[in-house]
Structure 1
């Protein structure tokens, strides 16, 4: 996706929002929606326009019953993003550009859906300068996106992701967890446990070239995907095969871990397109 051509994607949740603010999503609240929720006494819900004559006539105590409808409500949406050194990787694409494309699309999508958006940027710690308090207008988010396009991550780890839950509300929210997850699986699990009550959508930012799968044989300068350090390796066919096998094994382990916490991950290996997430949510529901 190119700057200036931001597209929105369509997301849905299967749970019911407790928010008072009307919106797009299923709600636990009654209000001015179209979906029938049930009947209630007129004295409890004094709206004579919604008197159900049939139910009232059948009431043995002679009371009046009104029809109650389900209100559709807004939700809060968050993006928790990894800003450690491995996100600076450049191969077929640039992970930070892919991340910025995603956040721009998310800002537009949340705004048009009527939801509030917050962003939390993390490496070893939470970066206040790359975090955004919950707001409903996309301008602040798009400003942060532009700054991220110029940012060069240097954090040596992503442990700050495990602290991001402290910045989230106690009520349930839709949380996009954006990282390449080049970190110990024990840390990934700790992050997911910390986000337990939230609806977490894992976005895995990968590039096949970072695993050496399409690299030519011979001496290659390989980068440590966790701390950003580099070293010179002699890439032989056997070593390349081991790298490819490690790549597949890592993917399988991540998929299993995320599924055990409620959501299938979405791997972004060829940049970002809004349609990827639209199809993801269509499959999920």
Structure 2
């Protein structure tokens, strides 16, 4: 027992006691350095000392992208909640409810529209914190809806991908989102509208095998893991040691699968410039 417990009256004890938030300090997965959460948030969730790009919430990403942080949230179409009545250790419907409460979004893809350095754009953001950013019916429907909205409004379409692949709880309904989104991409291109893909960590599985690799321009965040199957699975299959940095954004840029690797702090300016070039819009006044 200490003197606070023995001597100080209960009301004063309650005043002296402070609750410390669990996420006050964040550990960098690369360097192990501890970063104050507020500093990390102010730096767009990039660790200042190592440059490691941590996951950033969709809201923070959108605010950092659009002019003055202002944008319109677009409605996401509702879909059948549980087409296969799937259950593992808990019901799929209960799992979805838990993730909606945890993240505050309807599903893995969020849609928004607004001005990016003066150019009107439609944007989709895939949230890895929602069931690993998995591609299911709701996510597929949101992406298709966003692309059709871009066609209607004649705006470039930008998507930030982050996913572990297709959602197993929806079986073939999930896999069908690959050709559906691919057809929507073709319609976007037929309308001669820019389709820009920003690959973030990680982008894998069926997402990489469909809309994530069909962009007019592919931009990647530093260090992002991008691929179809995991490196360990590939090594076990081909029985060979993979090159250093395999499936990382920088490796893919060197081998022609990614056009550029852009730090998050420069992403807004880079995407704005790309949109102006592809739409032949005049340069912004300095």
TM-score (norm 2): 0.35
Structure having the larger proportion of residues in helix: 2
Using CA pairs under 8 Å that are at least 6 residues apart, name the structure with larger relative contact order, 1 or 2: 1
TM-score (norm 1): 0.35
Higher Rg of the two aligned structures? 1
Structure having the larger proportion of residues in strand: 1
